[in-house]
Structure 1
Amino acid sequence: MFKIFQNLRYTINNIRGSSKLKATPSFYNHSRRPPNVWLCPVILQPNFKICFLPPNVAIALSVLSWLGFAEEDENKESELIMTLKRAVLCTRREQYDKAEQMLHVALRLAQQQQNQQGILYCYDLMANLAFDQLQLEKAEKLFINVLQLLLSKGTAQNDLKVIHISLKLARICQLRAEIEKADIGYKWCLDQIEHEKYKDRDSRILYGVINDWYAQFLLDRGDTSKAMVHLKEAHKACNETQGDISEQSVLLLNDLGITSFRAEDMDGAEKYLKEALKVGNNLEDKSQLGVIHANLGLILLEKGVLKEAEKYCGEALKLGKRYEHAESLDQANYCFDQIKQNLGK
């Protein structure tokens, strides 16, 4: 991605250790983040499997106001806006073909009306749709198109829209294993958001997401200590914008626990996972808590606390069955397999 970010700079300047257990860690990668695919599996230690949780949401930013639609525009419920809303709904339902058809209809309407904000927004949604489906080349071209349109209008390089799109370009490079380019992109986004991060809630959310995504990138590279710093920043921003009790907080605490495990800090891993369970028990949706129970069971097994490990793995199995949650069932069964192996030694 050297070229992408070198070109981005040009455009901006011109238009603007060892383990007792033997297992293989499987991580659901983590943009928590679009796209909703969690990379890897990532190998932690020769044979120890512990799970990141897949995200349900990426960035909680206003949909139609993000690229310039005013509230009065939304209230008019014009044909263009209704079509855009239907496209967004189809995307959320993972009806991708239908969403793409709707976006092409919306784009034609925007072009007929010479509605530049509408055209920009259509391209942005098309880019995100391709991004969610891991159509990386298509997504990259569309994001660059949106970026060029924004910059041609005089949008500043530290504008949240520019940073947001640049973050996704960095993510595309990571997904392509273009490590140096991805690193340049993430660092650029962090530099740009630094002076904006307390400006408003959207800035703070985006600051958290950048730290979260960059932490996952660093984990993929094995830089655990640096990843931990950025995960803590992401968790802090999450609590400041969404409160202490949120699904996002649970996800980040789980990740902090796993990262502590990778750093061979078992006490830290236990602390973060127990905190994740405490927060998660206050949420209406408890379907993913089975994974965290199983992760905690594996940590306790690693610490040699067998009875406690069995208790948490058993709870993971119960939750997996109650909510028909496949990841919880898989991780609970894996946890019990590890307990059996440990007993057989």
Structure 2
Amino acid sequence: MLRSAGCRALIPGRIFRTWSRGSERCRSREPSLQRGPERRSAAPGSGSGAGTLSAAGLVCLAFSFFSQDQTEERNPEDDIILLIKKAKLSVIMGKPEDADRFLHQALKLAQQTRNNQAIIYTYIQDDNAVIEMSLKLCSIYASTEQHGFAVEGYKWCIETLEEKIQSQKDLPEESLSAHEKDNTRLLLGMSLDSCARYMISRKQLELAESLYEKALAISRQVQGETHPQTVVLMNDLATVLDMKGHHERAYDYVRRASDLARETSHPDEYVILNNLARVLMHKGRYSEAKLVYEEALKQAESKADQPVIERIREGLEELEAKTLKVQVLGEKSY
């Protein structure tokens, strides 16, 4: 199976793309040799990844990795940790061959010293920070129309996270906290969400629907029904269903999203209302659609959100044309 803001109106993707319960999500952490066993999974090719970081950022990162006093005595575990850090830096700099070499060196040293925890860790390249970097690369590939790389990257991110979540499921709290497990699930949700938006741009609506359903389920389970991200995902799923002509199901989701947006004072309520009005129009409920469009326009104008204002006005023009057609041809409307 395959696996920020920007698009408005019926196009999925709004400002609530944080997918986080706290500021700790996906921070690159120091290797901990006390973690439970996990598997190694090689990240997709990331040759263009260095372009996403500033030169200063790379220098600072390199300094933090390699500024240890080389004259200090280090035990073998210190050397293993340093090699793993070098491997991570190589991934960031788009040098997967160097990363693989450093990991092999770390593994050899871990085997020589019979450090089982270190052996386990050297096989881990499904660290959340690495996966998030790969996910960013997927977005770059998608925006530059490198479809093959984008699809393979999304597939790797999603499958790696699904396997990681499965392997972590039964780990006790002392080995891996519930917060850390949730962060991994949220990263999977973010990956599914990002891939779904890309699949919409590729007109692969069946796949986009499936991805959004899974992302929505994760957001509901981890963050709750009323969380802003959950509301956005309901709206996005409704978008896909509406595009597929499944207007009744689309209405159910967008109606729920608009209700929650109103109850929680969601900052994107007017965007969701715009989608609701469009679905109502597609269902032939023109009178209701007009009222919802007008409310959406009022909110959008109060926030001076010009792109959304323009889309709402376009929707109103389309609605007016459909209403006129009904009046001329005597078609049924509600």
TM range (shorter): 0.5 to 0.7
Query: What is the root-mean-square deviation in Å for CA atoms of aligned residues?
Result: 3.5
1:152-231 paired onto structure 2 within 5 Å = 152-153=102-103, 154=122, 156-197=124-165, 199=168, 200-231=181-212
**Match for 2:297: what amino acid?**
L
Between the two proteins, what is the percent identity of the paired residues? 21
Change (3 A) 1:104 1:228: closer
Equivalent position to 2:277, from 294, 297, 301: 297
Shift of 1:330: 2.3
Q: Which amino acid aligns with 1:259?
A: V
State the partner residue of 1:50: 10
For 2:249, the equivalent position in structure 1 comes to 268
**Normalised TM-score (structure 2):** 0.65
Q: Deviations over 1:134-184 (max 9, x none)?
A: xxxxxx984635996598353513332332222222222211111122111
Question: What amino acid maps onto 1:179 in structure 2?
Answer: H
Residue 58 of structure 1 and its aligned partner are, at CA, apart by 3.6
Residue 102 of structure 1, CA deviation: 7.4
Partner Cα distance (1:336, 1:279) in 2: 24
Shift of 1:264: 0.5
Counterpart of 1:183, as a letter, is V
Q: Per the alignment, in what secondary structure is the counterpart of residue 340 of structure 1? A: helix
Distance 1:148 1:302, change over 3 A: farther
Please, which moves more after superposition, 145-154 or 262-271?
A: 145-154
2:110 is aligned with 1:110: no
Higher alpha-carbon deviation: 231-240 or 181-190: 181-190
Q: What's the counterpart of residue 328 of structure 2?
A: none
Greater relative contact order structure (CA < 8 Å, 6+ sep): 2
Q: What is the rounded CA distance, in whole Å, between the counterparts of 1:172 and 1:245 in structure 2?
A: 31
Instruction: Say if 1:338 and 1:233 are closer, same or farther in 2 by CA, change over 3 A.
Output: same
**What does the per-residue CA deviation read over 1:9-29, in whole Å, with 9 as the maximum and x for residues that have no partner?**
xxxxxxxxxxxxxxxxxxxxx
One-letter amino acid matched to 1:258? T
Q: Which runs of 5+ in 1 are unaligned?
A: 1-30, 42-48, 71-98, 125-139
Deviations 1:27-54 (A, max 9, x none): xxxx9x4xx444xx9xxxxxxx734342
Using the alignment, how far apart are the partners of 2:138 and 2:245 within structure 1?
A: 29
Q: Aligned pair count? A: 257
Query: How many angstroms does 1:111 deviate by?
Result: 6.7
TM-score normalised according to structure 1 size: 0.63
Please give the alpha-carbon distance, in whole angstroms, between the structure 1 residues aligned to 2:298 and 2:27.
42
Of 248, 255, 280 in structure 1, the residue corresponding to residue 236 of structure 2 is 255
Partner SS, residue 344 of structure 1: helix
Could you tell me which residue of structure 2 aligns to residue 319 of structure 1? 299
Kindly report structure 1 stretches of 4+ aligned residues shifted beyond 6 Å. Answer: none
